[in-house]
Amino acid sequence: MNGASRTSVGRVPLKNPLIAGSAEHLIEADGVRRALRAGVGAVVVKSTNESQAARHQLQCAEYMVLDDHWRPIPWDKEAPAHAFVACRSGLTPQSFEVWLEQTAMLDREARSYDSYAVASLILAELETAVAMARQVEQAGVRVLELNIGTPYASQAAKGAVSTELDPARITTIVSAVRAAVTIPLWIKITGQSERVPELAAAAFAAGGEAVVMAGRSLGLIPDVETFEPMLGTTLGVGGHWNMPLTCQWLALSRGKLGADKPLIGTNGAQSGLDVARMMLAGACAVEMSSAVMLRGFEVLSDSLAELDAYLARKDVTARDLIGRAADRRKTFAEMPLRQDNWRRHIPA
């Protein structure tokens, strides 16, 4: 690791752009420590809120890996690169007090790795989220991520989690939390909207300092053998195949908001080159979650090694990557004529 991989998310300097994103492997302190030891720029711990239903949902959670034929395959680190995780998840089983104490302790430990343990709240009731945000700051945690875009709001118990789709609601939520804390505030938004750049704009205008885009989607995977939906219900889906969609949201948001608004990519990164891809699309940092849950913490160190090798090979710094491909996007109207090119792309 050298200075070439340094980046920053607004006023938060990061030793590199890879962030271990929130999921079950970051519930226990040991998981967060393993991510820190892998060398990441930051770790976002497993989220919490006040909802007992959201905690209960974790105890009802189910997870599966599917291959490129939509067939379930073993949960195993040798799963092929195209495999993706489908699941119903919930929030940390710990009480808020235990979670807070652990997160503050881990963020103190993270300093010696030149890294961070970022607190993560998922919105349920706004007043409580504001009070929890205040306690996060008082506990000395240096960065707060607020997730207002989980995939599950329509499926979970009422009020357990949020999928905010309205910029006006985002203004209300982010303003309230912003008014309560002075620490850097990152807002994680949904990708289940045709208005992701507008949602991001609202988050920034209300005082969010970075926007994490974009959360996983809801999907239904019918099982052709049993005629049932896989795992019995609608699932959170995302991963490998979602990478181009994440990059599109990043590029569109950069185009709308300008290059100075810090964007963090999430959904579909599973290698160092994927981190580079999301940065080229406009991200200043990238969260990686399900690939690590499935394949282990080595995915983080392997990705960092791959990113370093890529930066050296291209003789660029991580910062040089940010938005380069996004800014080179042309409109269809600017593309050169390719007379009858379509004929080479139909069956012989």
Interface contacts to ligand FMN, rule CB under 6 A: 21-24, 46-47, 85, 87, 89, 91, 120, 122, 147, 188, 215-216, 238-239, 266-269, 287-291, 293
CB of 45 to ligand FMN, least distance (A): 9
Q: Which is nearer to ligand FMN, 7 or 290 (CB)?
A: 290
Question: In the 8-state DSSP scheme, what is residue 331?
Answer: -
Q: Which is nearer to ligand FMN, 22 or 102 (CB)?
A: 22
CB of 341 to ligand FMN, least distance (A): 33
Which residues, at least 6 apart from 168, have a Cβ–Cβ distance to it below 8 Å?
202
Do β-strands 210-213 and 263-266 pair in parallel, antiparallel, or remain unpaired?
parallel
Q: Which is nearer to ligand FMN, 27 or 202 (CB)?
A: 27
First to last CA, the chain: 50
Q: What sign results for the dihedral spanned by CA atoms 219, 236, 285, 303? A: negative
CB of 227 to ligand FMN, least distance (A): 26
CB of 54 to ligand FMN, least distance (A): 9
Q: Which is nearer to ligand FMN, 104 or 121 (CB)?
A: 121
Rounded-to-integer distance, Cα 253 and Cα 235, Å: 26
Which residues, at least 6 apart from 190, have a Cβ–Cβ distance to it below 8 Å?
148, 149, 150, 151, 163, 164, 165, 196, 199, 214, 215
Q: Which is nearer to ligand FMN, 7 or 267 (CB)?
A: 267
Q: Which is nearer to ligand FMN, 29 or 316 (CB)?
A: 29
Rounded to whole angstroms, what are the CA distances from 136 to 76, 218, 223?
Answer: 35, 30, 43
- The residue type at 272: G
CB of 44 to ligand FMN, least distance (A): 7
CB of 138 to ligand FMN, least distance (A): 22
